[in-house]
Copies of this chain bind each other. A is one copy, B any other.
Amino acid sequence: MNGAESLVRTLVEGKVDVCFANPGTSEMHFVAALDKVEGMRCVLALFEGVATGAADGFARMADRPASTLLHLGPGLANGLANMHNALRAGTSMVNIVGDHATYHRSYDAPLTSDIEGAARPFSHWVRTSSSAEHVARDGADAIAAAQVKPGKIATLILPADTAWTEVTSLPDGGHVPVPDVAAPRQTSQAAVDEAVALLRGGGRTALFLTDPALRGEALENAGRIADATGARLISQTFNKRMERGVGRVPVERLPYPIDPSIAMLKEVDTLILVGAKAPVAFFAYPGKPSVLTHPGCRIHALALPGEDVEQALAWLADELGAAKARPKRVEAADHPLPEGAITPEKLGQALAALIPEGAILVDESNTSGRTFFNATMQAQPHDLLHNLGGSIGYGLPVTIGAAIACPDRPVFCLESDGSALYTLQALWTQAREGTHVITLLFSNRAYQILKGELTNVGAANAGRKALDMMDLGNPDIDWVSMAASMGVAGSRADTVEDVVRGIRAGLAGKGPYLVEIMM
């Protein structure tokens, strides 16, 4: 058995059994090992950002990391933007990056670069295997590192000779077990007591929530606390995963634009952080604050990111005697189908009417989708996934991983045209893997968000050259043809009726489908 095979065995035994891959020469032994080891599903991506984004989507829905396979420094570099997004989401990920053979590095061949240096800004854990004997252990350590809460990015660099050299020192199974991962830190009695005092103190109080407080029993406990104390439940603008819809505990969401977000938090005098960081502006704007809460707002951390958020909410509910409280729940509503000309509001209504129970919504709808959150509040129960890193091009790749993690659930990709263009190769993998992804492609032929940002940063009255930098027309992109060229069926929607027909066509099929929505 060579080093590559010992690594594949270690990954599979460590329950990292999906690999999103874009391999090259230096990864050929890893690829060859796929057929020698049972149990690794390997998914080809045509661009590395698709692989890292897919791994993000997989881990969010499967609650365990996937791996990626990338080709030296530049292959890693192409995957970094979606690694950044995953890092910011608190996603577990194990990246395997091939490198030149150890003895070949000193020759400075064309693909030589400082891979560790490139990986470090976007990884929590980086290691280069030094010999075939260590590869399995390094892989096991990478899995453990990735599983530290809330989820970390581990990058293991695998020189080609450590992959191809025979291993002699491994036990019979040919793999190394994953070391124990330290349990997340528990919050303190003092932090809980303080939260109890603040919640009982009355006033305008809110819990500020993010994953994992937005699903399962943790969300139930948040609902109980709100019921018992009158506190509002507000989520971060962007969240790793939110369970919502009919029957779930309702949660407000902090808006993205700076002025509405400040306005919402103006009404909050006490903010209790539950796995979330104190809210700050996405960007700085001249004359506007970086901190979104008002100066008099009291901020208290019940649980910091990476701490045991579920336990903290249970503990707090218990101390408040709220265990029996009956949380407010989202009620069912009629969702009449909208008609006529396309508007963001009507698109939200169509979504609310049509997304089936269990759907997964991957949201990169940007300006087109600002009404969707409220519009789908009373939709069927579904999961909502956001981009926490702000690097656009996250949506299409994430759908692949989500669909592979949950093959029986339809995945909706709410996708802006400008964002989709960074990683459009994902459409091909959607088709190849037969993923049930319905992409609603909002075609406004602009970086629409930037037109507003010009004003927000005080650079209004832009001239022609500046506006050209935000214009995606000239030529217009034909998304239905684009998708078809990569094997994804689709249709164009000029009216809301077309949108509805498109969504229904997508739901009726088993594979991917794209609706180009002319905004």
- A residues whose Cβ falls under 8 Å from a Cβ of B: 21, 23-26, 28-29, 31-32, 34-36, 40, 42, 44, 46-47, 49, 72-75, 77-78, 80-81, 84-85, 88, 100-101, 103-104, 107-111, 113-115, 117-118, 120-122, 160-161, 164, 238, 277, 280-284, 286, 290-291, 388-391, 393, 418, 421-422, 424-425, 428, 431-432, 449-450, 453-454, 456-459, 462-466, 468-469, 471-472, 474-479, 481-482, 484-487
A to B CB contacts below 8 Å, 7 in the list: A34-B469, A36-B463, A46-B418, A77-B391, A84-B113, A88-B110, A111-B282
**Chain B's nearest CB lies how many Å from the CB of A119?**
9
Contact A32 B454 (CB under 8 A): yes
Contact of A164 (CB < 8 Å), options: B78, B115, B388, B457: B457
Q: Known contacts A475-B431, A486-B482; is A35 also within 8 Å of B282 by CB?
A: no
Q: Known contacts A47-B422, A457-B160; is A111 also within 8 Å of B77 by CB?
A: no
- Alpha-carbon distance A107/B289, docked complex (angstroms): 11
Q: Known contacts A450-B24, A458-B164, A463-B35; is A284 also within 8 Å of B104 by CB?
A: yes
When distances are taken between beta carbons in the complex, the residues of chain B under 8 Å from A164 are 286, 457-459
- Alpha-carbon distance A485/B49, docked complex (angstroms): 22
When distances are taken between beta carbons in the complex, the residues of chain B under 8 Å from A85 are 74
**Chain B's nearest CB lies how many Å from the CB of A394?**
10
Contact B465 A34 (CB under 8 A): yes
The 3 closest A-B pairs by CB, nearest first: A35-B463, A475-B487, A74-B391
When distances are taken between beta carbons in the complex, the residues of chain B under 8 Å from A463 are 32, 34-36
Contact A477 B485 (CB under 8 A): yes
Contact A113 B122 (CB under 8 A): yes
Contact of A475 (CB < 8 Å), options: B80, B291, B432: B432
When distances are taken between beta carbons in the complex, the residues of chain B under 8 Å from A476 are 487
Q: Known contacts A84-B74, A100-B284, A290-B104; is A28 also within 8 Å of B431 by CB?
A: no
- Alpha-carbon distance A179/B88, docked complex (angstroms): 40
Contact of A118 (CB < 8 Å), options: B80, B390, B479: B80
Residue on B with the closest CB to A389?
B110
When distances are taken between beta carbons in the complex, the residues of chain B under 8 Å from A42 are 465, 468-469
**Chain B's nearest CB lies how many Å from the CB of A446?**
11
When distances are taken between beta carbons in the complex, the residues of chain B under 8 Å from A284 are 100-101, 103-104, 160-161
